[in-house]
Structure 1
Amino acid sequence: MLVYMIRHGQTDWNAEGRLQGQKDIPLNAIGRRQASDNGHALKAILGNTANDFDFVASPLGRTRETMELVRAAMGIDPLAYRTDDRLVEVSFGDWEGFTISELKQTVRQRVKERSRSKWDFIPPGEAAESYEILSWRVGSWAKDIDRPTVCVSHGGVFRAFFKFSGMPVTEAANAPVHQDRILRIDDEGATWL
């Protein structure tokens, strides 16, 4: 397996520390620059082998825009990629749009529960997920990878891959997920480039 993972560029909600989840928040100027910079870096990595790769993104707008900017910076058709619903970010349910500080003001005990077991914590709300639940659908997608792949997705999806590569879930739930770097995943593990 060879996958180059790129997290979508920054949004205003990322900059504010808001739980974004499945809300469709657009990239900001920094995020668009990060996406283009990642495209230039990926072009240098892949060279003339880009056509050997499957390009896939989460269907949310911020990941599609990131993918299109990455591909444009690589000098290839920005729209020649596919999306997969299994790559959508974890749902934070009723907590989407809030910062942890804001939530502490109204549901302090629940925030403490989350900090004790972030991987398995399910926020309130009908569609909410834990990182463990997210890892099930991401794992389903990963099993379908049949060629070298470039994937643009979300922080939670990266966390699932951290787990798949052997990182303990307590670390995977809290490890930094960069928006300005590329993660290479192969049979030997995951490496930030």
Structure 2
Amino acid sequence: MEGRLQGQSDIPLNDVGRVQADQAGRKLRDIMARPEDLPWLVSPLARTRETAERARRAIGLPSVSYQIDDRLKELTFGAWEGHTWKELRRVDNAGVEARFADKWGYVPPDRAESYAMLRDRIAGWLEHVDRDSIVVSHGGVARVLFVILTGMNPDEAADAPIWQGKLIVFREGRADWV
């Protein structure tokens, strides 16, 4: 794993991601009685759409019956997208150090977002979610949901591990990995 900052770059799932998406669908089927009864809300990026489609097929649902919501996109790293931390340290070490000193609030150059900015976007989206839902999105969105839905400290959330291919169930002020 290169540790490349993907952000909103619209890259496809790789083979590992495809296997993880299939597994996530089967896990979802195992923990939910009727996942077909809930709305599926999905980021418009290709990797999340393919994840949703593969997960739906894995549980016997039509692959394309889901809602796209632009607000569920990953945070954007602006000029930093597509680069590794090692590459960025060579060209913007001061920016990288500033970001590590304040992961929640730092905004990388060129129309990027901080987690704090992403939190505002996701809070606006969440105001319109009026029932349990299946959300297929990104690690940054998950970190923001940790803060909004569980009360996790933003600095802790910015460093929280995100496991690809696992599900997070938010309920009653908790976040449980499945």
- TM interval, shorter chain, is over 0.9
Which structure is richer in relative contact order (CA contacts within 8 A, separation 6 or more)?
Answer: 1
Instruction: Give the paired residue count.
Output: 177
Match of 1:89 in 2: 74
1:168 aligns with 2:153: yes
> Is the 1:184–1:192 Cα contact (8 Å) retained in structure 2?
yes
Q: 1:27 aligns to what? A: 13
**Is 1:133 aligned to residue 117 of structure 2?**
yes
**Distance apart, 1:188 and its partner CA:** 2.7
For the pair 1:46 / 2:32, whether they are aligned, the reply is yes
AA aligned to 1:167 is M
The alpha-carbon deviation at position 154 of structure 1 amounts to 0.6
Aligned pairs for 1:52-131 (under 5 A) are 52-125=37-110, 127-131=111-115
Separation in structure 1 between the aligned mates of residue 4 and residue 36 of structure 2, nearest angstrom: 37
Q: 2:133 aligns with which of 135, 149, 165?
A: 149
The residue type paired with residue 132 of structure 1 is A
String of CA shifts for 1:116-141, please: whole Å, max 9, x gaps: 0010010000x211010001111111
How far residue 51 of structure 1 moved from its aligned partner, in angstroms, is: 3.0
Quote the Cα distance in structure 1 between the aligned partners of 2:165 and 2:56: 15
When the two chains are superposed, the root-mean-square deviation of aligned CA atoms in Å is 0.9
Q: Give how far 1:34 is off.
A: 0.1
Which runs of 5 or more residues in structure 1 are unaligned? 1-14
Provide the secondary structure at the position in 1 that maps to 2:13. coil
- The structure whose residues are more often strand, as a share, is 1
CA contact (8 A) 1:39 1:74 kept: yes
Structure 2: tracts of 5 or more residues without a match: none
Query: Is the 2:41–2:66 Cα contact (8 Å) retained in structure 1?
Result: yes
Q: CA offsets, 1:55-107, max 9 Å, x none?
A: 01000100000000000001111111011011001010000011111111111
